[in-house]
Structure 1
Amino acid sequence: MRPALLDMCEPAARQQQQQFLAAQCASLAGLWRSQQLVDVQLQSADGDLHGAHRVVLASSSGFFRALLCGAGQSMKEGSSSSNCSLQDSIVVQLPYSSQQLSSLLTILYEHSITVCAGNVAWLLDMASYLEVAPLQEACCEFLRSALSPEACVDVLLLAHHYHCSALQSEGVQYIAQHLSSLLLLPEVRQGLTKLPPALLLQLLSCEALEVDQEAELLCLVSDWVAAAAQDRLPLLHQLLPLLQLSLLPDEAPPSQQQLGACTTPAAAQLARQLHQAAVQCQQQHGLQQQQQQQGVQGGGGVAGNDDGRYLHLLQQQQRQQQAAGASASSSSSSSSICAAGSLQDSSLHPGAGLDPNNHASSSTFNTFSAATAAAAVEQPCTPTWLDCIGSSGSSSSRGIGAVVLEAWPGRQRGYQPTRLLVAGGHDLSWRGLKAVELYDPRSDSWSPGPTLPAALPFAGAGLLGRGELYVVGGGMYSSLLVKLDAAGEAWHSCEGPRTPRLHAAVAGASGLLYVAGGRSQVNQVVATAEVYDPASCCWQSLPDMQQPRYAHAVASLAGRVYALGGQASKAIHRSVEVFDAGRGAWELLSQQLASERKYCAAAALGGRLLVLGGMSEARCRLASVEGYDPREGRWSPLTSMTHARSSCGVAALGGRLFAVGGNAGDQQLHAAVEAYDPAAGKWMPCSPLSCGRSGLLAAAV
């Protein structure tokens, strides 16, 4: 037969083969439904028997293959395998209900699997126990599709428990990429305290881990340790090196809001003390460097090697403890003294490892009462419950400072913004600007950055991936997208949005770039929105916003994108709408802004959405600031800026919110910069820009 004819016959042969196999399966299913030739009885936990065929079970399940074809093939009631007939059958007891066994047999005979939230847990348990690979893969596929803020921890725990390694990696990746927003959800935060040690270690080691502030990880670790302190305190010295401890002193201390989000007062106390210890470590490190530069040999090993630094801080802390808590040191060595509870044998030693199978239960920990723990946080005793960490084989107390010092400076994890970038805008004569300036909060100074490839007034930006900043600009008839590489040295052109628009708003969320609203072509105010995926370099249209708007603000919080204020025709909006990617729709919030705003700016800070500045319906520039907490579902007034400004740049960096430039009215543009500290509730002045500019963008890089 000629090759061409063979090629024509192969599809037909495959189709015939598939039809034959389908007929065979249907025939076997018919025999099972009529209970003919069954030679195995599956007994449920409630005693019901379900007949089946050995050959079907053995070909579908590794468990039954080993049982029926291996050592268990002689497990027939009343006879040996040598005289087994078709009428004889063995009975296999299984720990599943009658309904569950019936569903299993339907799956095996009819090859039809329907997985849903109500059955995925026991189907996955059954697939793992009986080694039914297709069923396990179907369950994993359903759980992948269910990965969401509300379900991600449950999915991860299921994947870990049933050894679904690929799904476990995807679950860790999802949580790592969205951790800052997930920590705002109390049920997720509570769920993360239930992670076994191996999973927390994998999460903290994940290269995709991104947080707005390192203090968020500090609070997460504190939550996890305090949930079962007796078992988990010995693991603290292995968890701390996975944090970027050296970033903590440069951030604002954990705010009351962050500490209040901790699951227990004890966890809040731990977070506070860990932060204080990090600050002390930085001071010790700075002193050591200063003394080395001056050629001075400090006493107590401060200017020496790492062991010297460790001993110096340890000795210093021991002296402080002995002076302040002499009575506490006389306690029995068999138990450790705590500020508001008892931790017995909470030894911390280098040999304590992270056991992947250790699902430490909080029942092993003598928890604090709420009243005494709160009192301990407000007025800690000496030594506190954290200072009772003892060194294995040593009678000396190590203290939390020594543990932090051992882990210093921690892991250098991926990309972390350290500077503020401002770009574009226009000058007083409305000329577009290409100039870029970079602000270093440590030195409170500005320096020039890489010039934009084009003048971009009223552009927007979003930080995606590992430090890549995307800037969207253009006008009513053209669009532009440029990317600043992670090194911060050069801009690269990308495909611009499908719809040219001016006065649009831009934000990055969950690795995607969102553009919404603006004015397009014939000066028409639009409600359209688009999203850019840097992985595929493609734009996709999104559902329209509920209301057309331009000169508005867009910001992301907890994986959701918010559009605030702006103008449509002659009306200035007070309304706010949110896009939920899971639902694929925009929804108006019931709570509106306190005042109308256009040319305003917005950003997320400390779990809240802040909107500031802008212009009122009376064309007055605004200095007022409002904050929205999605957990409370309401707006509240915050401290106003020092300067009223519209069309300013706003970005969060290091736990503070920076307001840069903007229009002051009366033919004046701001060069002034100020930063909002949520812990102090104050705006503080910073070094100004080199010149006044409005319509500029700001981003943390």
Structure 2
Amino acid sequence: MKAITLVRIPLRRGAAALALWLFAAAAAGEAAAQALITARQNHSATRLLSGQVLVAGGFNENQSALASAELYDPASASWSATGSLTTARSAHTATLLGNGRVLVAGGANASGTALATAQLYDPATGQWNTTGSLANARYEHTATVLANGRVLVAGGRTGSGGSNTAALATAELYDPATGNWNAAGNLISPRASHTATLLPSGLVLAVAGSNVIPQSSAELYDPTINSWSAASSLSTTRVIQTATLLVSGKVLIAGGDGAILSQVYDPATATWRNVAGLALGRYNHTATLLASGRVLIVGGRRSTGTIAIAATEEYDPNSGSFAAAGDRIFKDGLQPPAS
């Protein structure tokens, strides 16, 4: 069996699939993935249409915000520098658009002040160009590509007080055709560090998060009427959890600070069902849908402290239970994530 080298790269929730892919690619390829050119965290990672991975922004070991960006080439398992953002930022979102460009929106600068600016990365030139700015500066928000290709940005924070800062209720829509942002109604409950999942119906499910204190509420965005409506609440509050769209069209909510049980949302009945809890309570982890339909839970921090977790678990939707993942990941085959 080949030796496996895992380069641990702190990734935000939107890059969960990329974390798994880099791990599997390093295991299956002839060369192990090399380290980043610049150490960073709270950055973004986006798989491009070429198969390369764009990593941008974040902050370094000295807590300084970064403007630099780099590309991972899975063929050579190596990193190379690419064009830098015009504004250093962390806790932003990075979204792959239908035209192959990457939209980076919002985030916070070195002093923790929220940003309203947005930029587009063009893989053909390796350069960034400014695009329309958000109406509200924000970080720790979500960005979801809708069926019509527009990007829904929701919630987040705008102050510099971190988790003690009140969350935003505003939401905005980015139109790649015009580069403009338009209002997308207001969330019923302000929230940051939440999850947002595009359902097969085209609705977007926003779940939990924090507004100074953790939330348990959930709501749905309907792009056909550009408004939000209440959904059934979770049985417990949670923040920095993961949300994974299962093959069945249901959504698995796992982990989160202060949460033990996991829950599954069924769009057909608009209800939540409690399922088994993780063996290790964790938040700031990743959750990736495997080809088998199982969900791989990786890393994070313990809900009772700040100790990083190396253990992995796998959720089986058929039994509704979690088990140690082991090396079963490789039985699911190596295929690049869809987003």
How would you bin the TM-score normalised by the shorter chain? 0.5 to 0.7
| Equivalent in 483, 506, 512 of residue 150 of structure 2 | 512
Q: Deviations over 1:61-110 (max 9, x none)?
A: xxxxxxxxxxxxxxxxxxxxxxxxxxxxxxxxxxxxxxxxxxxxxxxxxx
| Equivalent in 156, 179, 187 of residue 537 of structure 1 | 179
Contact 2:251 2:264 in 1 (8 A): yes
Correspondences of 1:209-288 after superposition (within 5 Å): none
Measure, in 2, the Cα distance between the counterparts of 1:627 and 1:537: 36
Change (3 A) 1:612 1:469: farther
1:545 aligned partner, one-letter code: L
| Equivalent in 103, 107, 126 of residue 470 of structure 1 | 103
Contact 1:576 1:592 in 2 (8 A): yes
For the pair 1:647 / 2:288, whether they are aligned, the reply is no
2:206 aligned partner, one-letter code: A
Measure, in 2, the Cα distance between the counterparts of 1:684 and 1:505: 28
1:599 aligned partner, one-letter code: I
For the pair 1:494 / 2:99, whether they are aligned, the reply is no
Instruction: Please report how far the alpha carbon of residue 541 of structure 1 lies from its aligned counterpart in structure 2 after TM superposition.
Output: 0.9
| Equivalent in 235, 242, 267 of residue 601 of structure 1 | 242
Residue of structure 2 equivalent to 1:568: 211
Contact 2:52 2:71 in 1 (8 A): no
Residue of structure 2 equivalent to 1:503: 140
Contact 1:428 1:668 in 2 (8 A): no
Change (3 A) 1:596 1:630: same
Contact 1:450 1:489 in 2 (8 A): no
Measure, in 1, the Cα distance between the counterparts of 2:88 and 2:311: 22
Residue of structure 2 equivalent to 1:550: 192
Measure, in 2, the Cα distance between the counterparts of 1:496 and 1:458: 16
Q: Tell me the TM-score normalized by structure 1.
A: 0.33
State the number of aligned residues. Answer: 267
Residue of structure 2 equivalent to 1:578: 220
Correspondences of 1:297-696 after superposition (within 5 Å): 425=58, 430-432=63-65, 448=79, 453=85, 455-475=88-108, 476-485=113-122, 491-510=128-147, 511-521=149-159, 523-558=165-200, 559-570=202-213, 572-589=214-231, 591-606=232-247, 607-616=249-258, 622=259, 624-638=261-275, 640-641=277-278, 643-650=280-287, 652=289, 654=291, 657=295, 659=297, 662-664=300-302, 666-669=305-308, 678=317, 684=325
Instruction: Please report how far the alpha carbon of residue 646 of structure 1 lies from its aligned counterpart in structure 2 after TM superposition.
Output: 2.2
Change (3 A) 1:491 1:430: same
Measure, in 2, the Cα distance between the counterparts of 1:652 and 1:588: 27
1:514 aligned partner, one-letter code: L
Contact 2:299 2:309 in 1 (8 A): yes
The structure where helix makes up a greater share of residues is 1
Q: Deviations over 1:182-236 (max 9, x none)?
A: xxxxxxxxxxxxxxxxxxxxxxxxxxxxxxxxxxxxxxxxxxxxxxxxxxxxxxx
Instruction: Please report how far the alpha carbon of residue 565 of structure 1 lies from its aligned counterpart in structure 2 after TM superposition.
Output: 0.4
Instruction: Please report how far the alpha carbon of residue 597 of structure 1 lies from its aligned counterpart in structure 2 after TM superposition.
Output: 0.7
1:631 aligned partner, one-letter code: A
Unaligned residue ranges in structure 2 (runs of 5+): 1-23, 25-47, 328-336
Contact 1:460 1:507 in 2 (8 A): no
Contact 2:173 2:184 in 1 (8 A): yes
1:459 aligned partner, one-letter code: H
Contact 1:508 1:514 in 2 (8 A): yes
Measure, in 2, the Cα distance between the counterparts of 1:439 and 1:684: 27
The structure where strand makes up a greater share of residues is 2
1:594 aligned partner, one-letter code: S
Measure, in 2, the Cα distance between the counterparts of 1:491 and 1:610: 35
Measure, in 2, the Cα distance between the counterparts of 1:488 and 1:684: 40
Unaligned residue ranges in structure 1 (runs of 5+): 1-249, 251-414, 617-621, 687-698
Instruction: Please report how far the alpha carbon of residue 576 of structure 1 lies from its aligned counterpart in structure 2 after TM superposition.
Output: 0.4
Change (3 A) 1:670 1:486: farther
Change (3 A) 1:540 1:653: farther
SS at 1:594's partner residue? Answer: coil
The RMSD of aligned alpha carbons is 4.1
Change (3 A) 1:586 1:594: same
Q: Deviations over 1:91-145 (max 9, x none)?
A: xxxxxxxxxxxxxxxxxxxxxxxxxxxxxxxxxxxxxxxxxxxxxxxxxxxxxxx
Change (3 A) 1:601 1:460: farther
Contact 1:466 1:486 in 2 (8 A): no
SS at 2:284's partner residue? Answer: coil
Measure, in 2, the Cα distance between the counterparts of 1:679 and 1:509: 28
Instruction: Please report how far the alpha carbon of residue 648 of structure 1 lies from its aligned counterpart in structure 2 after TM superposition.
Output: 3.7
2:174 aligned partner, one-letter code: Y
Contact 1:470 1:481 in 2 (8 A): yes
